[in-house]
Amino acid sequence: MNIDRIAMSRFNNGDIGIAYFDVGPRDGVPVLLIHGFASTAHVNWVFTGWVRTLSEAGYRVIALDNRGHGESDKPHDAAAYTPPIMAGDSAALLDHLGVASAGIMGYSMGARLCAFLALAQKETARTLVFGGLGAGLIDGVGEWDKIAAALLAPSLDDVTDERGRMFRAFADQTGSDRKALAACIQSSRTLVSPAELNRLTMPALVAVGTKDDIAGSPDRLAAALPDGRAVHIENRDHMLSVGDRIFKSAVLGFYEETLYP
C-alpha cells in the first residue's frame, strides 16, 4: 500500500459529492474513520500511519473527506454542515459500500460526528472511538466564532487569537477552502445531551492527550457513557495526539476485545 497517497473514489449523498477510500483486507472487520475539522482523510489517517496500522492488523479501513474538506464538495452555506447532515454522509458511505455495521472512529470534530451517526443509526456502530474529544462533546470546546473569523481574515498576520491562528495556519497548510470551513464551524458545534449519551450503549473508547486544552476530560465522557473507558495520551496536545503510538495501541487492544469478542 502506498502510504503517501491513496486514490480516492467518489459517490453522491444527495447533491453533495463525497470522496472516500476503502482499503485493507476485504474480509476484515470494517472500521470507518472520520477526520477532524480542517483536516482530511489523508492528513488524519494516512500520513499518521493509522491506515497502515489498521490494515496490517486485518481490518478493512474506510475513510472519507467530510463535506467542506479535502476532495469532497464544499458548499459555503452553513446550513449544509449540521452534525446530523455531516454524520449522514458517513452513514450514506457505508450504505453505498454495502457495510451494515462497523467500528466507528473519529478525531475531534470527527468524534462528534461519530456520536451523531450512532444516535441516528445505533445498529451501524459496533463500537465508538472518540479521539481528541472528551467532555467537550457535552460541554462544548471553546470560542469557535474566533476561529471562523480567523479563517475569513485576509491573512494569518491579521489573526491575533492564539487558537484562531493555530487553525488558520493548519487550514493554510492543507490548502483548505476557508469559506467552506468557516461555514462548517458555524453549524457543526451541536452538543450531545447526557440523555443522548445514555443511548450510546455500544463499547466506547475516549482518548485525549494530557496536554490537550480543547477536548475536555476523557474521564468525564467515559464515565457518562454506558460502556466507556478512557485513555490518556501522555504529553500530547490536540494536534499531536492523533498519530501517537499510545493511541494506536489502545485502539488495537480495544478492537481485539470488542470487535472480536
DSSP string, 151-206: HHSSSGGG---HHHHHHHHHHHHTT--HHHHHHHHHHS-----HHHHHT--S-EEE
Question: What is the rounded distance in angstroms from the CA atom of residue 23 to the CA atom of residue 30?
Answer: 10
Q: In 3-state terms, what secondary structure has residue 223?
A: helix
Tens digits of per-residue pLDDT, 143-176? Answer: 778 889 999 999 999 999 988 898 899 899 888 9
Across the range 235-243, mean pLDDT stands at 96
Question: What is the rounded distance in angstroms from the CA atom of residue 94 to the CA atom of residue 56?
Answer: 21
pLDDT for residue 189 is more than 90: no
Tens digits of per-residue pLDDT, 56-81? Answer: 999 999 999 999 999 999 999 999 99
pLDDT for position 140 = 86
Across the range 195-218, mean pLDDT stands at 97
pLDDT for position 261 = 61
Across the range 228-252, mean pLDDT stands at 97
Across the range 170-197, mean pLDDT stands at 90
Bridge partners, 209 (sequence order): 233
Across the range 227-254, mean pLDDT stands at 97
pLDDT for position 188 = 67
- How do the domains of the chain map onto residue ranges? 9-140+191-258
pLDDT for position 145 = 84
pLDDT for position 3 = 55
Judge whether 44 and 65 are in contact, CB under 8 Å. Answer: no
Question: What is the chain's mean pLDDT, rounded?
Answer: 94
- Length of the chain measured in residues: 261
DSSP string, 49-111: THHHHHHHTT-EEEEEPPTTSTTS-----GGGG-HHHHHHHHHHHHHHHT---EEEEEETHHH
- Distance (Å) of CA 259 to CA 28, 54, 73, 163, 255: 11, 13, 32, 37, 5
Task: Tell me yes or no: is domain 9-140+191-258 CATH 3.90.480.20.
Answer: no
Question: What is the rounded distance in angstroms from the CA atom of residue 171 to the CA atom of residue 249?
Answer: 29
Question: What is the rounded distance in angstroms from the CA atom of residue 60 to the CA atom of residue 28?
Answer: 5
Tens digits of per-residue pLDDT, 7-57? Answer: 999 999 999 999 999 999 999 999 999 999 999 999 999 999 999 999 999
Q: How far is CA 80 from the centre of its chain?
A: 17
Q: What angle do CA 238, 241, 243 make, to 5 degrees?
A: 135
pLDDT for position 1 = 42
pLDDT for residue 247 is more than 50: yes
